[in-house]
Structure 1
Amino acid sequence: MTSISRREWVKGMALVTLGSVAFYDLSAQTKPILPTSWKPIEWTKDQDQLLSDWVGIIIPESTIPGAVSLGVPSFVKTMLDDCYEPTAQDAFRKVLNGFRTSLETYVKKPWTQANQAEKEQFLFAMAHGNLGADAQNAMSTLKGLTIQGYTSSEEIMVKYYHYVMAPGFFNGCAPVKKS
């Protein structure tokens, strides 16, 4: 049996560690990050505006900023694109595309003439399943994402939840009190 010095052992362990890191890094580069079936959702201008209106009805502007001014529609689009399966995305898109016509048949007015209360009542009916299961699922998805995006925005977290990124500040010049 041969003996090994500490220096040779440390050198060998360092080489093994660096080799495994390099191998892992090289093997990770050959694998695709995204599945081949993934495609981002293409949003038209009309759908963007409709989604903004929809989110603005859920959390409207008041003395505090509303969901639209805090950028929640872009959060909703990103979450739908990145975190939901294509079947759920298609169902949401189908409900979104039929939203204006459904509202117009529900309140018997064009979209531009319906007031805020009528739009809220329509969304309430969607959430309770009066307009079908797809509309109810789309509404629950939208409400959840809107609330998540709104409450996790910087404006709300800092000003209203008093969130501090790193609590417990360091003051190096504070006098030391002797007891």
Structure 2
Amino acid sequence: MERRELLKMIALLTGGVIIGGNTLLTGCSPEKGKLQNKLVFSQQDQDFLDEVADTILPATKTPGAKAAKVGAFMTVMVNDCYEEKDQKVFREGIDKLNAACEKMHGCEFMKATKDQKLSLLGILDQEAKAYQAKRGDLPAHYFTMMKQLTLLGYFSSEPGCTKAMRYIAVPGHYEGSVPYKKGDKAWV
């Protein structure tokens, strides 16, 4: 699967433009002469992001986002591909998500039950969609960023490509017409 196709698919699934998508298409290299700020993400932050991602894409018959180490992927992408304003929104979003969980359920996100996490992320998803619809020039909603990076990280990881999708190792022969049965996985 080509990078452009993956970005189109994620934009379609999340209902918006991929944050940092332009940089992704150009290979995550900042403009010449422009230094990007690097955020510091602790192991605790990565574990938190893994938990958010695993709530979005949990393990089923296939490995979940945590198994694909999506939290570490998110931190690299935010540092290497996001503009400074988006980096700030993402970083503050970790605290906002945790505060929303405290307010809604009386506990930190990491200590919440699976059902509590799901209900919170469902509400944040609706909030993010409403925000995206009226945001204009404002930065994207932090949950939209987390959701997009979860999908991008998972479906470009080894577990995502080889276990969640149909996979045939290259080299292989070209077969132009493969029958599709309802419920089949997508091809990589």
State the TM bucket, normalised to the shorter chain.
0.5 to 0.7
Contact 1:127 1:135 survives alignment (8 Å): no
Q: Structure 1 residues 124 and 115, CA, compared in 2 at 3 Å: closer, same or farther?
A: same
Q: Distance in 1 between matches of 2:40 and 2:32?
A: 17
Q: Distance in 1 between matches of 2:123 and 2:90?
A: 16
Contact 2:54 2:64 survives alignment (8 Å): yes
Gaps of 5+ in 1: 1-31, 170-179
Contact 2:74 2:150 survives alignment (8 Å): yes
Q: Structure 1 residues 163 and 35, CA, compared in 2 at 3 Å: closer, same or farther?
A: farther
Structure 2 residue aligned with 1:177: none
157-166 vs 45-54, which moves further: 157-166
Match of 2:40 among 39, 42, 52: 42
Structure 2 residue aligned with 1:142: 146
Matched, 1:167 2:172: yes
Alignment of 1:51-70 (within 5 A): 51-70=49-68
Q: TM-score, normalised by structure 1?
A: 0.65
Q: Distance in 1 between matches of 2:111 and 2:150?
A: 25
More helix by share: 1
- Residue by residue over 1:74-105, the C-alpha shift from the partner in whole angstroms, topping out at 9 and shown as x without a partner, is 22111111111010010111111232221110
Distance apart, 1:110 and its partner CA = 4.7
- Residue by residue over 1:102-139, the C-alpha shift from the partner in whole angstroms, topping out at 9 and shown as x without a partner, is 11101234545521111111011111117x94997111
Alignment of 1:111-126 (within 5 A): 111=109, 113-126=111-124
Contact 1:127 1:136 survives alignment (8 Å): no
Q: Structure 1 residues 116 and 35, CA, compared in 2 at 3 Å: closer, same or farther?
A: farther
Match of 2:99 among 78, 98, 101: 101
Q: Distance in 1 between matches of 2:111 and 2:47?
A: 16
Q: Structure 1 residues 163 and 53, CA, compared in 2 at 3 Å: closer, same or farther?
A: same
Gaps of 5+ in 2: 1-29, 132-137, 175-188
Corresponding letter in the other structure for 2:154: Y
Structure 2 residue aligned with 1:89: 87
Q: Distance in 2 between matches of 1:137 and 1:163?
A: 37
Question: Percent same amino acid among aligned pairs?
Answer: 22
Q: Structure 1 residues 73 and 115, CA, compared in 2 at 3 Å: closer, same or farther?
A: same
Q: Distance in 2 between matches of 1:94 and 1:35?
A: 27
Corresponding letter in the other structure for 1:105: K
Q: Structure 1 residues 34 and 166, CA, compared in 2 at 3 Å: closer, same or farther?
A: farther
- Whichever of the two has the greater Rg, that structure is 1
Structure 2 residue aligned with 1:151: 155
Q: TM-score, normalised by structure 2?
A: 0.62
Q: Distance in 1 between matches of 2:33 and 2:101?
A: 37
Count of paired positions: 138
Question: Which structure would you say has the larger RCO, counting Cα contacts within 8 Å and 6 or more residues apart?
Answer: 2
46-55 vs 159-168, which moves further: 159-168
Contact 1:129 1:136 survives alignment (8 Å): no
